[in-house]
Amino acid sequence: MAVLLVLLVLLLTEPGFSQTNNHDNDTNDRIGYFCGRNAVTSLPNFVKNRNTTLSDLRMQLLSKRVVYAKAQALSAGDPVFAAAQCRNYLSVDRCVACFDAGVSELTNCSAANGYVIFDNCFIRYEDFDEFYPDPYFMMDGTGSQYLSCGNNQSTFNQGVDGVLSNIKDATPKTSNYYVASITQVTSENATVYATAQCIANINQTICQTCMNAAYDKLTTCLPSTQGRFSDMACFVRYSELPFFDDNQTTDITTVLKGEAGMPLVSNTRNKSNVNCNYDMIGHSRKLVAVVAAAVGGVVLFFLILVLWLFYRRKKSKKTAQGDFIYVDFSLILTD
């Protein structure tokens, strides 16, 4: 009977939440949790609005197959504005699983604001909506940055530093503020898996600011084989063990080279290009002036020619009329 019960439980268990062999290092650890200080007016109304908002977020993640969602509930006061984001390398099932874990943490909070951050996702709710474009707006709490470093040590400091520097520069320049990179450090016979993600709906400047902070913090983890950084605006992680699939990487070489794969140029080069452009504009304007003068000259010539022909024709007509009168006059005198 016990064996049949175990088999029944296994059959009813939903697939997709277990870790795959390629995600040995993906444990979905909780990085940070904060229950805010903003008081609610009515706890029942607040709980109702928060539950409605969180339910809306879950439905969007599950039905729309997205990794970012935001929702709000404003009925009966105590408004709740919330957002949730999963890492881009996650499947929908794993994203929702992380979201559910976060909701179970946040439901213990009775304040009007709070957030929870995992390796795989984050959830945040506030009683104002200004945090959507600016995650640092009226940020409550001092533990806004979270850094964790692994215990295992290695010697590929320079290799990891280069990877972190590349994703720091590339992430704000991508269309979705996300990169995933696998780098072979040949000198150390090691592989570095790294990912970075900024919160959706923010601008490039805020993303770059968070990436700079992440780089400064994570380089202090070296020579550890893994490190995690999380802020209200971004998440960065590196490890020598895989936590996303090999086919989920981002080609950051094109991004680092600039648009359309063109190499980035220094300020001096840019200045010379600007001067060259101004010279070309100057030459173009001179050419336009010469062509306009030539066209004007041709038009003037044809105008003069038309007037001259008109004058000759009119004069010829008058002369012809004068000769006819003279002839008639002579004939009259002869008669």
Q: What is the pLDDT of residue 245?
A: 92
Q: Compute and round to an integer the Cα radius of gyration of the chain.
A: 37
Q: What is the pLDDT of residue 111?
A: 95
pLDDT exceeds 60 at position 28:
yes
Q: Which two tokens stand for residue 20?
A: 């795959």
Q: What is the pLDDT of residue 13?
A: 34
DSSP 188-229: TTEEEEEEEEEPTT--HHHHHHHHHHHHHHHTTTTTBSEEEE
* pLDDT tens digits for range 103-145: 999 999 999 999 999 999 999 999 999 999 999 998 876 567 9
Classified as helix, coil or strand, 242 is coil
Q: What is the pLDDT of residue 77?
A: 85
Locate tokens 């268990």: which residue? Answer: 13
Q: Which two tokens stand for residue 43?
A: 């706890």
As a whole number of angstroms, the distance between CA 174 and CA 170 comes to 7
Q: What is the pLDDT of residue 53?
A: 98
Q: What is the pLDDT of residue 17?
A: 29
pLDDT exceeds 60 at position 12:
no
**Which secondary structure element, helix H or strand E, spans residue 297, and what is its range?**
helix 267-334
Domains identified in the chain and CATH numbers: 18-143 (3.30.430.20), 145-265 (3.30.430.20)
As a whole number of angstroms, the distance between CA 250 and CA 309 comes to 75
* pLDDT tens digits for range 177-212: 999 999 988 777 789 999 999 999 999 999 999 999
Instruction: At 26, give phi and psi (nearest 5°).
Output: -100, 90
Name the DSSP letter for residue 153.
B
What is the pLDDT confidence band of residue 295, given thresholds at 50, 70 and 90?
A: low
pLDDT exceeds 60 at position 224:
yes
| CA-based max dimension of the chain | 154
- Average pLDDT estimate for 207-228: 95
What is the pLDDT confidence band of residue 256, given thresholds at 50, 70 and 90?
A: confident
Helix-then-strand count for the chain, H and E: 7, 10
Report which of residues 265 and 2 the model is more confident about.
2
Report which of residues 1 and 182 the model is more confident about.
182
Report which of residues 334 and 106 the model is more confident about.
106
pLDDT exceeds 80 at position 46:
yes
CA 37 to chain centre: 32
**Which secondary structure element, helix H or strand E, spans residue 42, and what is its range?**
none
Mean pLDDT for all residues in the chain: 78
pTM of the full structure: 0.68
Q: What is the pLDDT of residue 79?
A: 96
> Taking the CB of residue 134, how many other CB atoms lie within 10 A of it?
16
What is the pLDDT confidence band of residue 314, given thresholds at 50, 70 and 90?
A: low
